[in-house]
């Protein structure tokens, strides 16, 4: 199986390499990394070493710094990113303009508020000069931004798009350096659910597509693939590739979270495999998935039990990263970052219901929630972790073959 997958990936790589010029890319194979969102301090050396990853992604929430609640000069998040850069990891950093959370609207051009926003971005890049490999100008446009800032105003201008363009003008004048000493690659987008006509046709998204295509200072586009199934994941990737045909893509978040959520109410013993698991671990087969997970948070289970649980559930997709990796590579995605870990500093009891969003099921590593008997190794999630490590190995093999 491993040899077949390696052969398939090599063939796919060679095919994509032949069309790489069409995408405006120096290389077209996918490099898969890890994502921790607003928690770069979770990028612990032990976890990074165990996962064998090179690329990491996080975001910084702008309003906390602009309001003075956090200080870029004395912030453990910034120091964590610098520490990760010092160990040779490549960093994708997104700026999260958390406007809804802050109760803000996009500032008017040349206003005092815009000046503060630009000053924050400039100070952020100064603190991380030479540490980043990719900067993304926005996290999730339509989720974080008030609706009125995503629509044309009386002057026929979409305020958020205008802000992004002015932000790029400001950053370009700073000439930020990447970790390799070259000009920092800048992406924008933060597009979500591009399989849906509503999102595809939104004026703000269409305006962003046009700008990304036309502005040579923008390396490419970032989009997220949190989907309920593979079909909609493929539709999302198909759509953005058609909209942005000549530039590379990155995916900073992706998952089957909505599928996982739909099965929290399932009985763990609803299938023969589930009943066998229940009998093996002396569990009530009528427990729901949510109830079982609640119990695990209160009383952590062994890695063997957790993996057996997921293996017994027909809704879980252990090969998700293999399938998605090939799908994204086919569409010219050059970097994709996947959910890394639950809190490595400790987790406590948590009540999971059918209304919960079970992000923990996505993670590659499950410290504290799941344990490895007689070992200090961090518990690995079923299927997902092994696929991720295999992908790192295949990527390294491809890099080596190119250099020979």
| DSSP result, 42-67 | G--HHHHHHHT--EEEEEEEHHHHHT
What is the average pLDDT across 179-190?
A: 97
Tokens at residue 111, please? 């206003």
Strands 301-302 and 333-339: unpaired
Tokens at residue 296, please? 């695990």
> Quick one: 375 exposed, middle or buried, by C-beta within 10 A (0-12, 13-18, 19+)?
exposed
What's this model's pTM, rounded to 2 decimal places?
Answer: 0.92
| Contact in structure between 383 and 310 (CB atoms under 8 Å) | yes
Q: What is the pLDDT of residues 329-345, one digit of tens each?
A: 999 999 999 999 999 99
What is the average pLDDT across 156-184?
A: 98
- Cα–Cα distance, 298 to 316 (Å, whole number): 22
Quick one: what percent of the chain has pLDDT higher than 70?
92
| Contact in structure between 210 and 180 (CB atoms under 8 Å) | no
Neighbours of 2 (CB within 10 A): 10
Tokens at residue 87, please? 């160990």
Measure Cα distances from 339 to 248, 251, 388, 396 in Å.
22, 12, 11, 21
How high is the pLDDT of residue 10? 44
How high is the pLDDT of residue 11? 44
Q: What is the pLDDT of residues 104-148, one digit of tens each?
A: 999 999 999 999 999 999 999 999 999 999 999 999 999 999 999
- Cα–Cα distance, 200 to 196 (Å, whole number): 6
- pLDDT, mean over the chain: 93
Tokens at residue 214, please? 């036309």
pLDDT score of 203 more than 50 = yes
How high is the pLDDT of residue 397? 76
| Contact in structure between 92 and 250 (CB atoms under 8 Å) | yes
How high is the pLDDT of residue 396? 79
Give 163's pLDDT tier (boundaries 50, 70, 90): very high
**Domains in the chain, ordered, with CATH?**
2-256+320-341+383-399 (3.20.20.80), 264-314+349-377 (no CATH)
pLDDT score of 401 more than 80 = no
| DSSP result, 132-145 | -SEEES-S-HHHHS
Element of type H or E holding 301: strand 301-302
How high is the pLDDT of residue 291? 98
- Cα–Cα distance, 340 to 366 (Å, whole number): 9
Quick one: what percent of the chain has pLDDT higher than 90?
90
- Cα–Cα distance, 66 to 309 (Å, whole number): 45
């Amino acid at each position: 199986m491993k040899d077949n997958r390696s052969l398939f990936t090599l063939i796919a790589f060679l095919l994509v390499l032949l069309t790489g010029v069409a995408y405006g890319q120096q290389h077209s194979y996918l490099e898969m990394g890890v994502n921790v969102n607003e928690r770069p301090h979770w990028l612990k050396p032990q976890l990074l070493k165990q996962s064998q990853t090179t690329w990491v992604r996080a975001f910084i929430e702008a309003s906390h710094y602009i309001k003075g609640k956090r200080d870029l000069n004395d912030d453990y998040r910034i120091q964590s990113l610098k520490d990760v850069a010092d160990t040779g990891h490549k960093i994708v950093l997104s700026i999260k303009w958390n406007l809804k959370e802050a109760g803000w609207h996009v500032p008017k051009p040349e206003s005092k508020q815009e000046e503060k926003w630009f000053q924050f971005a400039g100070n952020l890049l100064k603190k991380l000069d030479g540490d980043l490999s990719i900067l993304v100008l926005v996290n999730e446009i339509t989720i974080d931004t008030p609706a009125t800032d995503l629509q044309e105003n009386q002057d026929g201008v979409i305020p958020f798009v205008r802000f992004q363009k002015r932000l790029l003008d400001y950053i370009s004048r700073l000439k930020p350096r990447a970790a390799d000493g070259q000009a920092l690659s800048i992406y924008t987008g933060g597009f979500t659910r591009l399989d849906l006509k509503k999102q595809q046709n939104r004026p703000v998204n269409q305006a962003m597509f046009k700008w990304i295509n036309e502005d040579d200072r923008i390396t490419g586009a970032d989009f997220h693939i949190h989907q309920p199934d593979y079909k909609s994941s493929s539709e999302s990737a198909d759509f953005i590739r058609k909209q942005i045909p000549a530039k590379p893509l990155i995916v900073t978040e992706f998952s089957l979270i909505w599928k996982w959520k739909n099965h929290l109410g399932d009985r763990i013993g609803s299938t023969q495999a589930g009943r066998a698991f229940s009998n093996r671990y002396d569990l009530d087969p009528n427990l729901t998935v949510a109830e079982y997970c609640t119990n695990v948070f209160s009383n952590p289970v062994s890695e063997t039990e957790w993996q057996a649980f997921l293996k017994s559930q027909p809704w879980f997709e252990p090969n998700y990263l293999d399938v998605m990796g090939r799908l994204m590579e086919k569409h010219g995605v050059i970097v994709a970052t996947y959910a890394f870990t639950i809190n490595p500093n400790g987790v406590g009891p948590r009540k999971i219901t059918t209304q919960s969003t079970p992000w923990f099921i996505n993670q590659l590593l499950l410290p504290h929630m799941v344990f490895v008997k007689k070992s200090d190794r961090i518990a690995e999630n079923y299927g997902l972790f092994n696929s991720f490590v295999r992908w790192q190995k295949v990527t390294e093999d491809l890099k080596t073959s190119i250099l020979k």
